[in-house]
């Protein structure tokens, strides 16, 4: 397994509906952790890169109702 982290900026803070949908995303095989930082309006996802790619992670977040805007570069 190869774990990678990706951070996306979002525009609108997730509401109750979106957070419930995120619980379903956490169940997806390959997703290890999802963390929101409301002050920075970012969501950080740790995932198994041998199972999925970054675009699949972004797609899962969008399907959950998170308006992913841009991918941030991790230093």
The mean per-residue pLDDT over the stretch 21-49 comes to 94
CA 21/CA 12 separation, integer angstroms? 15
pTM, rounded to two decimals: 0.90
Would you list the domain boundaries of the chain? 3-72
List pLDDT tens digits, range 36-57.
999 999 999 999 999 999 999 9
Q: Please say whether the beta carbons of 38 and 9 come within 8 A.
A: no
CATH class entry, domain 3-72: alpha beta
Angle at 3 between CA 21 and CA 5, to 5 degrees: 60
Q: Is 26 helix (H, G, I), strand (E, B) or coil?
A: helix
């Amino acid at each position: 397994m190869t774990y990678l982290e990706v951070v996306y900026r979002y525009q609108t803070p997730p509401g109750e509906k979106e957070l419930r949908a995120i619980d379903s995303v956490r169940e997806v095989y390959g997703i290890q952790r999802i963390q929101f930082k409301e002050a920075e309006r970012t969501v950080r996802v740790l995932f198994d890169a041998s199972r999925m790619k970054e675009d699949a992670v972004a797609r899962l977040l969008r399907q959950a109702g998170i308006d992913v805007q841009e991918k941030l570069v991790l230093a």
